[in-house]
Structure 1
Amino acid sequence: MTRERLVELLLIALIGVAAIWLALPSTTTLTITNPLTGEVIFSRDVSYRRGLDLAGGLHVVLEADVPEGTEVSSDRMEAAREIIERRINALGTTEPIIQVAGNNRIVVDIPGVQNPDEVIATFGQTGLLEFIDAGTDTLVPGQEVVTDYPEPPADVPEGTKVYHTILTGADLETASVGFHPETNEPVVSFKFKDGEPTQKLREFTRNNVGRVMAIVLDKRVISAPVIRDEIPNGSGIIEGNFTLESARALEIQLRYGALPVPLKIVQVRTVGATLGEDSVQRSVLAGLIGVISVAIFMLLYYRLPGLLANLALIIYGAVSLSLFKLLPVTLTLAGIAGFILSIGMAVDANILIFERMKEELRSGKSLGAAARIGFRRAWPSIRDSNFSTLITCAILFWFGATFGASIVKGFAVTLAIGVIVSFFSAIFVTRIFLETVMGLGRVTREWWYGV
């Protein structure tokens, strides 16, 4: 056995052991530490993420908060739905189901929610940020104010002060969470767009040093700093006694824009898995029976190559499941079906190779030559069929993303990952195993190779 082949086998073994360990349900945290200092360099939760049908989650109904009799256009509701989806995805939640219901409602289903209050606070608010001219007034965080944006309100009680809005969140270019250099408390850094917004902020701060420019979110004061100097470049920070979570929520609201229509929460409830535990167990059992049946067929029909293909199939499954954890992928029943389907396609690649080998052996080729020619001639068929599947997965993913069919997206993602890993399994792992066994020269009878 050559040194290069030994290195390849060692690499496969390391990948296989690491993937099997990571794929185990009991492996929930991946931590890398510095061996010299013991300091944690990297730590991440790698638990399997289950979808709403497998794990349950949060069900929220939002309704347009507009005067009675006011109609809300379908375009505005759809825009609100898209903004809510972006906000939720920014929290790290995958495959939420968000749909417009009727003329004025949006239904949100989020799988596996750990902190419902934090999630609702992030997507439920309108997210309208205003920088207002408060003059010399003393405003405190949490105080509700009336502003002239988008238009001066007509039904304000007599004596209520209406503040002028200088700039809004629509003028922002970026927003990010940071820490105050002196107090080390969480703050939200912002940068206005170049051009008119930055120029407007520069002129206002230059002409109003010593006055208050309050920062207001959804007509509620976040902070009311006194202008101490001109802001020339459109950058600044928002302070408001934030926790890290609340600062992150504000950042998401600012980054992904204000909702085009105010919404109020009319229903919140925690829902159980739409599929019972018994249904999930039966589905997993059916998948295991299918995989075992295929493995037995490969062993009986292709003999030694079939045994090697089964070993490669174990590595294939472990690598795929590990990727589901690392990316991560939210597993729904449809996603599991996509993974099982990809197992069949991985086996199909091996069948194409082995059948080519058998043809070459029947024509009188040696074992080594038959293996080389079999892999070479089967490659175009494997490549074209898998690329065709990947194109279909891309179309399904686009369809799911465009029309809010997250179940279709989950199926497409797991199938695509499985197909990509099958390239590695069939063309690299199975080939290395087979060439290694042939190179030992101890199993030379053609019967062992299915002929």
Structure 2
Amino acid sequence: MKIKSKGIAVFLSIIIIISAALYTAVSGLNMGGISIAPMKDGIKQGLDLKGGVYVVYEAQTDETGEELKKIIDQTIEVFRRRIDSLGLTEPVIVKEGEKRIRIELPGVKNAREAIDMVGKTAQLKFILEDGSVVVTGKNVKDSEVVFRNDSNEPIVSLKFDAEGAKAFADATEKLAPTRSPILIVLDNQVISSPRVNDKIPNGEATISGNFTVESASELANLIRAGALPVDFKEIQTSTITATLGENALKASVQGAKIGVVILVLFMLLYYRIPGFVACIALVAYALIIGFTFVIMGATLTLPGIAALILSVGMAVDANVIVFERIKEEIRNGKSIRASIDSGFSKALSTIVDGNITTFIAGVVLYNFGTGPIKGFAVMLMIGIIASMFTAVVISKALLKSISNANVVKNTKMFGA
């Protein structure tokens, strides 16, 4: 009787935990100072679901290798800053190939205005408080993060060309006595305003002031980007209406519902109690995927939904392998409890091998793919990990608790 009570307690505990997580996902939670929004409000929708615009720019340069990578990285920083200033949500800015940058702007109303704002040439100026220009981006030869010898504090080092060095020397000579600032302006926004302590005659200056390595790197990148002589050509643009995105989402959800219903019916009719356990594990799988997406701040796209549906199939496939093994063990005369232990043990290597090979494919897609392909790969890898956990841990715990409860003795209820 003790074993029976323990088995029932474990089974009910798992059901209660999954039910509580499901309620939180659907309705949210607001209790004792803890506030969790419903999952649907926390998952960001991508361009193909929400509608918007995407544009691909190509660098017009003959540079290669590290120098080209440096140019692309600096330009991405400028694009990101401009997009943030537009107040747009869930932008995607990624490198595509060697010379291209892909920008996705979900929810954009005025596509042309947004593209013009993002793609215009960066304007960097060093100006005085009265608005007069000292030097511009074309006079900046380099900008990088260095560290003080005495304190190891990160600072930003600047180097100007000959014309810029002379103009900067004249300006700093006038400003040093009053320790007035020079404003560094990018696209009409002040990104830094260092005060001048001394005349800088040699065209080499430093900017200090409680920087972290990250903030100093960002400032150095922005200054360098404003001085880039590289033009970017708009080579591809497409607008997706919100209606198209909404219809695509509805069609995907409808297809997923039909597939899940058919799947649940098959598992219940063919495997019975193990099929019921698989359905519970499937709910746990969906919850793990959803909460992981929210925590990561990931963006859901149509390729991501496709990967999700694929990983659902893999999660069920893992359960099917286990259940078939359990049926074989029961037919060989073993008890239900022994068959469950043996079935999971023998099926584990097959499940792990199949999932690892698919995970490797996901890693390859992520590293060599771009845009939507990366989204598909991320969703696939998350789905594989979640499916492994639910099949090997949750399904096993539920089946063992049922066998330990000793309430089902008929082997036919296990599909045997």
Q: TM-score, normalised by structure 1?
A: 0.66
CA gap of 1:226–1:418, structure 2 versus 1, over 3 A, is closer
Q: Structure 1 residues 290 and 119, CA, compared in 2 at 3 Å: closer, same or farther? A: same
Deviations 1:196-227 (A, max 9, x none): 99xx9xxx99x945454513234968476654
Contact 2:107 2:242 in 1 (8 A): no
Partner of residue 51 from structure 1, selected from 46, 51, 55: 46
Q: 1:346-374, CA deviations, whole angstroms, 9 ceiling, x for partnerless residues? A: 00111111111111111111111111000
Secondary structure (helix, strand or coil) at the match of 2:209 reads strand
1:93 aligned onto 2:90:
yes
Equivalence for 2:133 = 145
Match of 1:416 in 2: 381
Give 1:123 deviation, angstroms: 5.6
Residues 52-451 of structure 1: matches in 2 within 5 Å? Answer: 52-59=47-54, 72-73=61-62, 80-85=71-76, 93=90, 95-96=92-93, 108-112=103-107, 139-140=128-129, 143=131, 145-147=133-135, 150-151=138-139, 170-172=143-145, 191-192=154-155, 208-210=176-178, 212-218=180-186, 222=190, 226-227=195-196, 235-236=208-209, 254=220, 258=225, 260-261=228-229, 271-273=240-242, 275-400=244-369, 405-451=370-416
| RMSD, aligned CA | 4.9
* Cα distance change, pair 173–292 in 1 and its aligned pair in 2 (3 A): farther
* Alignment check: 8 A CA contact 1:214 1:225 kept: yes
CA distance in 1, matches of 2:193, 2:314: 61
What CA distance in whole angstroms lies between the structure 1 residues aligned with 2:395 and 2:376?
26
Query: How far is 1:322 from its partner?
Result: 2.1
1:283 offset after TM fit, Å?
2.3
Check conservation: 1:312, 1:430, Cα contact below 8 A: yes
In 2, distance between residues paired with 1:408 and 1:9?
39
Aligned to 2:290, the other structure's residue is in SS state: helix
Per the alignment, residue 22 of structure 2 pairs with 20
Supply the AA of the counterpart residue of 1:412. A
Task: Report SS of the residue matched to 1:236.
Answer: coil
Query: Is the partner of 1:258 in helix, strand or coil?
Result: helix
Q: How many residues align?
A: 380
- Structure 1 residues 303 and 144: alpha-carbon distance in aligned structure 2, compared to 1, 3 A threshold: farther
Distance 1:44 1:209 in 2: 59
More helix per residue: 1 or 2?
2
Change (3 A) 1:398 1:421: same
Aligned residue type for 2:360: I
Inter-CA distance 304–218: structure 2 relative to 1 (3 Å threshold): closer
Structure 1: how far apart are the matches of 2:323 and 2:35? 45
Structure 2 unaligned residues grouped into runs of 5+: 148-152, 166-171
- Alpha-carbon offset, residue 17 of structure 1: 3.2
Point out where structure 1 has 5 or more consecutive residues left out of the alignment.
65-70, 152-164, 175-189, 239-247
Cα distance change on mapping 1:303 and 1:94 into 2, 3 Å: farther
Q: Residues of 1 paired with 2:53 and 2:157: CA distance?
A: 40
- Distance in 2 separating the partners of 1:43 and 1:194: 45
SS at match of 2:90: coil
The alpha-carbon deviation at position 427 of structure 1 amounts to 1.2
Cα distance in structure 2, aligned partners of 1:323 and 1:358: 34
Q: 1:338 to 1:225 in 2, by over 3 A?
A: closer
Offset at residue 262 of structure 1 (A)? 6.1
Secondary structure of 1:288 counterpart: helix
Amino acid at match of 2:401: T
**1:303-323 deviations in Å (ceiling 9; x for gaps):** 111111111111211221222
**Alpha-carbon distance in structure 2 between the residues aligned to 1:293 and 1:369:** 31
Structure 1 contact 59–107 (Cα < 8 Å) conserved: yes
CA–CA distance in structure 2, aligned partners of residues 317 and 427 of structure 1: 15
* Structure 1 counterpart SS, 2:333: coil
Question: Structure 1, residues 352-398: CA drift from partner, whole Å, max 9, x if none?
Answer: 11111111111111111111000111111111111111111110111
Q: Which amino acid aligns with 1:140?
A: E
Q: Partners of 2:343 and 2:331 in 1: how far apart?
A: 12
